[in-house]
Structure 1
Amino acid sequence: MNAERMIDRIEKLAQCSRSVRGVTRLAFTKESEQANHLVDGWMKEAGMKVRRDALNNIIGRYEGMDPDAPVLLIGSHLDSVAEAGKYDGILGVIAGIEVVHAMHENGIVTKNPIEVIGFCDEEGTRFHTTLLGSRAIVGSLSEEDLEARDHEGVTVAEAMQAIGMNPDQYGRAARDPQSILGYLELHIEQGPVLWEKGQSCGAVAGIAGQSRFEFKVEGQAGHAGTVPLSMRRDALVGAAEMIQAVERIALEYESVVATVGKLAVLPGASNVIPGVVEGTLDVRSLHDETKRNALLAIIEEFHRIAHRRGLVCHIRRVMDSPAVVCTSQYVQTIETVLAQRGMKPLRLVSGAGHDAMALALITDIGMIFVRCKEGVSHHPDEYASPEDILESATVLMNVALRLTT
């Protein structure tokens, strides 16, 4: 395994960006095509045959002793959020290529074929929809998904056409579940647990289910100097109490995290009592029933607060995805390799979504998290050390060998 080669490739991909600060690489753009071109060449250097599927996922195949045997998929995504770090998604693709490169250089051929995948769109930054690439492979993508628009009004279908693709063929990206052995994904943790524990990598037990809502609190705007406090129907004061309730209730449920991440206060003048507040609510947990119970308690409290203050609260569900539990055999295999390399068998829960969530619909999944400095992610300061990258890629290779021989 060659850490210098991996670092060099990560740095080269970071240059495929439309922003100077951090990395901004959106799906079906000039920057994503530049990244695909680089990855294509590296996959071929590693001894793989390369193709792009009908949704522009780039796939390198390393043939096994039995070409008809189910294939082990190793992958992650090549797109980014705006002004992102260098490692999110990218590290998983580069580590997968390095695993195959090391096997190729050492004459190792596994029974099962191995395919490394760079998914075209996981973050959903451009079109405000997530997991386009992996959902296409699973077969859960729809024509409606191709009509999602970016901020300039360009649809997914139009963006595909702009780089020479035929969006009508998107269904051809779907894979037969019987042809897949399983899926492995290596990814930076995007949290502080490994950093605090002082360990290079760990096994992922599962990916938290996520529910997103939009809420609107309606009160009565008025003059800030003439309406007594006792007679006000201040939407912002009510919303503030609701936000505190979100934190209080979430703390009562183990494994639940809840966030109010966006607020708009209207009319938004310093001398006017806020009449309307619009906001977002994000609730996540590895246990769907626990998440559901916490949500019911939060929603009930929102309405109770609104009623007491003479306000009206509207809540609309935007998105709901169930929790995904990683395959126990894969988790145990990762833990065995960790122990053999002198590490603790740490099990981590991912609060962020990953392509593995989609692949879990059709095959077994396993994930390896890599320590990132202070848990910082989705930010230019995102960082994983060469030592941790090498160690985690070595763990990935050993897990892949155990699953394919």
Structure 2
Amino acid sequence: MTTLASLNTLTDSAFVAALDGIYEHSPWIAQRAAARRPFATLAALKLALQDVVNTSSEAERLGLLRAHPELAGKAAIAGELTQESTSEQAASGLNLCSAGEYARLHALNAEYNDKFGFPFILAVKGPTGRGLTRTSIIETFARRLKNTRPDEFAEALRQVHRIAEIRLNALFDVAPQLGAQVMDWCETIGAWSDPDTGLTCAYLTPAHRRTAAQIMQWMADAGMEAHIDAVGNVVGRYAAHDPDAKTLMTGSHYDTVRNGGKYDGRLGILLPIAIVAHLHARGERLPFHLDVVGFAEEEGVRFRSTFLGSSAITGQFDPALLDALDADGIALRDAIRAAGQEPGAIASIARKPEDLLGFVEVHIEQGPVLLERGLPVGVVTAIAGSSRYLVELTGVASHAGTTPMGMRRDAAAAAAEIVLLVEERCSGVPSLVGTVGQLEVPGGSVNVIPGACKLSLDIRAAIDAVRLAAVDDILAGISAICARRGIEEKLWKIVEADAAPCAPRLMDALGAAVERAGVPRFDLLSGAGHDAMQMAQITEVAMLFTRCGNGGISHNPLETMTADDAELAGQVLLDFLRSYPA
């Protein structure tokens, strides 16, 4: 069996021979990587090979892409593929395509080659390494045909590196055990949704309660004491030998947005559970209590109030929210009681800051930064603050054909100007982003000037002063636009969350664990809100981001990650726990 130790001591030619086939018909990659030895970890070797490709000429990278065979193409049918490609395509059943599937793939291959000038490349063993279905392969093929050439060139190279990663795992007889477990668990609870299709798991719905019960069972199976608290949080404790020890907390949320992804939030619950199971199997205890919390609600889907779970843990839960109604007129307090919990007990679950060592959250990045840098994990520096508003504009609905342009009070035109105002004000300022994510013309008609329009505002930045200055300018701009156009405006603030910087000492501890895993430390900002924002009110916090695939997309069924990245995040978190800077 090949080992890193033996690979590090081989001659250059033997090193190249040992890695033959890792990159399709491209021995020059291993030749250039040989000089970078020794490699301390398999992750370090993977990144070194990747870096050789990324620093090569465009012609060399194009040649690498063109060295790959078409999926279910002529070479496959003729039996002319390499042993590795033959095995990979067979793992997804591409050797068993129906006549219709072969015809579809043949047409897609031709269209793709004509557009991009290189063959379609996909790691057909997929995120888990076990193989994608033919249907998902064809759907991915068709979706990626819509990319621009620069974007698709970059994505094809990422798929090449993923293929190489899977082949290296096989060469070294390595399987991502923690990562595979997390991926399997995500599949299990990802199948439970409020509607029949997609994944929507809103607060205290049947799917949500079923998910909570399953997470609690996994916690118990891992060796934890587990329960569901008064607000619906699933809490598991892996106790230290000393009952008076302090507590380190970790976790994330298990609710989802409408038609969301399988890993948002849930990775940060399930990965620590898998780590606890590993520790428990070894009979290993930590010098502190480790509490894993599956926060019941973070997304605000059902009752339009975010962070219900973590606000209760921090003692910031607003009792007035118990009167909030969902779309069916069900009050929050009644939903809690229907789930078997007592609203009056919510205040009692608040944690005392003096009992806590800190809070660390693992989360998918929900963006493309790590993906574009080719890094599996990153250390979060801060979570951006957020200001969110709903805006209602009222003009005059009138006939589209008889009202002169200069006499209109068009609410939609005012909204369009506001959208551009937000874009202009938030462009070019570091960490500042602004979004109008909802835009509606209620009861609009093709031949009627819009008399009303509703829109949302979402302004975020890592520095509160930057965010608040942008909010002031945008709100003033909205007033000026509406005054000039004769439009009435109403605004409702729905979220005001301060930025939450991560604790430098915890960032350094995570960064050191990342480097010990053979990966360079990379720091990045979180533009998305997380439960760690709430936890920062009572203790120090840290976050570890894990790379997203599919362009970094999240809050979407296309949200994805790999078992290998989850594995590396797990190893980093385990190292962090074992060397926690008390």
The TM-score normalised by the length of structure 2 is 0.67
Q: 1:367 corresponds to which letter in structure 2? A: M
Give the SS at the match of 1:403: coil
Of 213-222 and 184-193, more deviation after overlay is shown by 213-222
Aligned to 2:579: 402
Q: Is the 8 A contact 2:259 2:557 kept in 1?
A: yes
1:329 correspondence with 2:501 = no
Report if the CA contact (8 A) 2:509-2:581 is conserved. Answer: no
Aligned partners of 1:112 and 1:404 also within 8 Å: no
**3-state SS, counterpart of residue 157 of structure 1:** helix
Residues 144-159 of structure 1 mapped to structure 2, 5 A cutoff = 144-159=320-335
The whole-number CA distance in structure 2 between the counterparts of 1:333 and 1:208 is: 21
SS of equivalent to 1:2: helix
Q: Given residue 444 of structure 2, which amino acid in structure 1 is its aligned partner? A: G
Question: Alignment partner for residue 346 of structure 2, among 156, 170, 182?
Answer: 170
Q: Which amino acid aligns with 2:182?
A: M
**Residue 385 of structure 1: which of 559, 562, 575 is its match?**
562
Quick one: which amino acid aligns to residue 147 of structure 1? D
Instruction: Give per-residue Cα distances to partners, 1:313-356, cap 9 Å, x unaligned.
Output: 44332321111111111111111111222222211211211111
Q: Following the alignment from structure 1 to structure 2, what is the Cα–Cα distance between the partners of residues 252 and 283?
A: 14
Question: Is contact 2:269–2:293 with CA below 8 Å preserved after alignment?
Answer: yes
Q: Do 1:267 and 1:275's aligned partners in 2 also have CA atoms closer than 8 Å? A: no
- 1:269 equivalent in structure 2: 445
Tell me the amino acid that sits aligned with residue 351 of structure 2. R
Equivalent residue for 1:42? 218
Deviation at 1:201, TM superposition (A): 0.8
Which structure carries more strand by proportion? 1
| CA distance, structure 2, for counterparts of residue 129 and residue 316 of structure 1 | 13
> Quick check: 1:228 aligned with 2:404?
yes
Deviation at 1:238, TM superposition (A): 2.5
On the 8 A contact 2:506/2:581 being kept in 1, the answer is: no
Structure 1 residue aligned with 2:363 = 187
Does 2:217 align with 1:30?
A: no
Deviations 1:197-232 (A, max 9, x none): 111111111111111122233333322112222332
1-side partners of 2:481 and 2:338: how far apart? Answer: 50
Equivalence for 2:58: none
Indicate conservation of the 8 Å contact 2:390/2:491, yes or no: yes
Q: Which amino acid aligns with 2:565?
A: D
> Residues of 1 paired with 2:201 and 2:430: CA distance?
36
Structure 1 residue 32, shift from structure 2 partner: 2.3
Is contact 1:111-1:404 (8 Å) kept? no
Q: Is the 8 A contact 2:194 2:201 kept in 1?
A: yes
- For residues 55-134 of structure 1, what are the structure 2 equivalents within 5 Å? 55-134=231-310
Q: Deviations over 1:5-56 (max 9, x none)?
A: 2222121111222233322222223222322222222212222111222222
Name the stretch that deviates more: 17-26 or 385-394: 17-26
State how far apart, in whole Å, the 2-side matches of 1:234 and 1:18 are.
Answer: 38
Identity %: 37
Change (3 A) 1:124 1:203: same
CA distance in 2, matches of 1:403, 1:153: 47
Task: State the alpha-carbon separation in 2 of the partners of residues 4 and 246 from structure 1.
Answer: 42
Q: Which moved more, 1:29-38 or 1:5-14?
A: 29-38
Q: Whole-Å Cα distance in 2 between the matches of residues 91 and 291 of structure 1?
A: 29
1:305 and 1:255 map into 2 onto residues whose CA distance is 26
Higher helix share: 2
Q: Secondary structure at the match of 1:41?
A: helix
**C-alpha separation in 1, matches of 2:379 and 2:232:** 29
Where in structure 2 are there 5+ consecutive unaligned residues?
Answer: 1-176
Aligned position for 2:436: 260
Which amino acid counterpart does residue 297 of structure 1 have in structure 2? D
| Aligned match of 2:517 | 341
Aligned counterpart for 2:311 among listed residues 114, 135, 139? 135
1:237 aligns with 2:408: no
Deviations 1:79-106 (A, max 9, x none): 1122221111111111010111111122
What is residue 283 of structure 1 aligned with on the other side? Answer: 459
Question: Partners of 1:368 and 1:157 in 2: how far apart?
Answer: 34
1:249 corresponds to 2:425: yes
Q: Which moved more, 1:226-235 or 1:291-300?
A: 226-235
1:229-258 residue CA offsets vs partner (Å, 9 max, x unmatched) = 233232222221221111011114321111
Residue 381 of structure 1 deviates from its aligned partner by 1.2
Tell me the residue number matched to 2:386.
Answer: 210
After superposition, the Cα gap between the structure-2 partners of 1:143 and 1:238, relative to the gap in structure 1 and judged at 3 Å, is: closer
Shift of 1:399: 1.2
Indicate yes or no: 2:4 matched with 1:4: no
Q: Which amino acid aligns with 2:466?
A: T
- Amino acid of the residue matched to residue 557 of structure 2? P
Larger RCO, structures 1/2 (Cα 8 Å, 6+ apart):
1
Counterpart Cα distance in 1 of 2:313 and 2:305:
16
Deviation at 1:118, TM superposition (A): 1.1
**Residue 377 of structure 1, CA deviation:** 1.0
Change over 3 Å in CA distance of 1:308–1:167 after alignment to 2: closer
1:13/1:356 CA distance change after superposition, 3 Å: same
8 Å contact from structure 1 (residues 46, 97) kept in 2: yes
CA RMSD of aligned residues (A): 1.7
Q: How far did 1:304 drift? A: 2.5
Q: Secondary structure at the match of 2:572?
A: helix
Q: Which amino acid aligns with 1:398?
A: D
TM-score by length of 1: 0.95
CA–CA distance in structure 1, aligned partners of residues 280 and 581 of structure 2 = 15
Q: What does residue range 352-391 of structure 1 map to in structure 2 within 5 Å?
A: 352-373=528-549, 374-391=551-568
